[in-house]
Amino acid sequence: MPDQLLFGMEVALNGLMAGVMYALVALGFVLIFKASGIFNYAQGVMALFAAMTLVGIQNGQVPFAHLINATFGTDIHHFGWEVPALLAILLTVVVMIAFAWMVNRFVFQHLVNQEPIILFMATIGLAFFLEGVADLMWGSEIKTLDVGLPQGINEYIDSATFEAFGYGFFIDNLDIVATIIAALLVAGLVAFSQYTKQGRALRAVADDHQAALSVGISLNFIWVLVWSIAGFVALVAGIMWGAKSGVQFSLSLIALKALPVLMLGGFTSIPGAIVGGLIIGVGEKLFEFLIGAPYLGGATENWFAYVLALVFLVFRPQGLFGEKIIERV
């Protein structure tokens, strides 16, 4: 096989893996949107916050140390202990649940029945708030996250493809792990919403708030639950992205990458988020490889996803798997 084609295949494969990462973030969006009609811009910052909290707990960092030192003239930084990865993850989940409760209590309880666009802007405000809090709490420097995930080139695929085609494919172990975890997560979420009582209540709320209320489902509880699950998904995404490229501010920008994924897949569909993620992941890598780098001067990955989503939307405004939008006066 010609080198160019093999190389293209490798690019496409890596794009698929990147797409899984996008889909992970997009999943969090879909969950909240389905259950509450809130388009949660803060999902990316939640991933950043979760990853920072995880690193902070792992290293035994004192929260708000910088602020405390500046205010009281003290000099504290670390508790002096290390928390094992699993326990740290559990503690982070607890923090994310507390966050979910507070978001519901202080923000969205007061915004029931507002227009969707107002809710969207509220989540932008929330994103700024959370980003500031995260930086104040754990410091804004770049951190490395290590929870014991395998990293580096997968030797097996490399040697197998080398024997078959005479060209070794470079696939990161981390991406393979991410794919497996994403698959497990989706399976878990689907099982949860199909087979548990809370899951059914969640779907009922998603269908019709009023009707769900009148059969005795607590809207508050469901919303806290949904935000907690979204927080958990954010944590998973944060761990994956953090392990891949370090925990830093740019992590919060993956939310912006997840938006076109959603538009393509449709806001209300979990399979849509996954398929959209894969399409965007492969599309932008291939576009960069075939057209962007040779003809347009590179860095087309910044906008390709948006333009693709935009062009696509003009022909199918509800996305691939979205519900048809019906409007009446």
Site for other proteins in 85-114 (CB under 8 A): 106-107, 110-111, 114
Residue whose token pair is 């906008």: 303
> Applying CB under 8 A, does 291 fall inside the site for other proteins?
no
Binding segment toward other proteins, per CB under 8 A, in 90-98, 168-176, 235-243, 308-316: 308-316
Sign of the C-alpha dihedral computed for residues 8, 14, 16 and 18 taken in this order: negative
Binding segment toward other proteins, per CB under 8 A, in 5-13, 192-200, 242-250, 255-263: 255-263
Q: Which is nearer to other proteins, 131 or 175 (CB)?
A: 131
Number of residues that bind other proteins (CB under 8 A): 52
Query: Minimal distance in Å, beta carbon 181 to other proteins?
Result: 27
Query: Minimal distance in Å, beta carbon 324 to other proteins?
Result: 14
Comparing CA positions, the residue from 179, 178, 153 lying closest to residue 168 is: 153
Name the DSSP letter for residue 206: H
Amino acid at 43: Q
* Planar angle of CA 106, 108, 111, nearest 5 degrees: 115
> Applying CB under 8 A, does 267 fall inside the site for other proteins?
yes
> Which of 1, 5, 70, 160: binder of other proteins (CB under 8 A)?
70
Query: Minimal distance in Å, beta carbon 48 to other proteins?
Result: 13
> Which of 22, 39, 99, 223: binder of other proteins (CB under 8 A)?
39
Query: Minimal distance in Å, beta carbon 1 to other proteins?
Result: 32
Residues 6+ away with beta carbon under 8 Å from 168: 157, 158, 159, 161, 162
Q: Which is nearer to other proteins, 5 or 70 (CB)?
A: 70
Half-sphere exposure of 143 toward its Cβ, with a 13 Å CA cutoff?
Answer: 26
Inter-residue contact 13 to 94 (CB < 8 Å)? no
> Applying CB under 8 A, does 310 fall inside the site for other proteins?
yes
Binding segment toward other proteins, per CB under 8 A, in 150-158, 214-222, 279-287, 303-311: 303-311
> Applying CB under 8 A, does 215 fall inside the site for other proteins?
no
Binding segment toward other proteins, per CB under 8 A, in 86-94, 174-182, 225-233, 311-319: 311-319
| Per-position b or e across 138-174, b if 16+ CB within 10 A of its CB | bbeeebebeeebeeeebeebeeebeeeeeebbebbbb
Amino acid at 140: S
Residue 194, φ and ψ in degrees, nearest 5: -90, -40
> Applying CB under 8 A, does 294 fall inside the site for other proteins?
no
Site for other proteins in 125-154 (CB under 8 A): 125-133, 135-136, 140
d(CA 216, CA 148): 44
Q: How many other CB atoms are there within 10 angstroms of residue 278's CB atom? A: 21
Query: Minimal distance in Å, beta carbon 312 to other proteins?
Result: 10
d(CA 37, CA 33): 4
> Applying CB under 8 A, does 278 fall inside the site for other proteins?
no
Give 143's strand partners.
247
Separation of first and last alpha carbons in the chain = 59
> Applying CB under 8 A, does 71 fall inside the site for other proteins?
yes
Query: Minimal distance in Å, beta carbon 280 to other proteins?
Result: 12
Token pair for 142: 């770049």
Contact residues for other proteins, defined by CB under 8 A:
39, 66-67, 70-71, 106-107, 110-111, 114, 116-118, 120-122, 124-133, 135-136, 140, 256, 259-260, 262-263, 267, 296-300, 302-303, 306-307, 309-310, 313-314, 317, 327-329
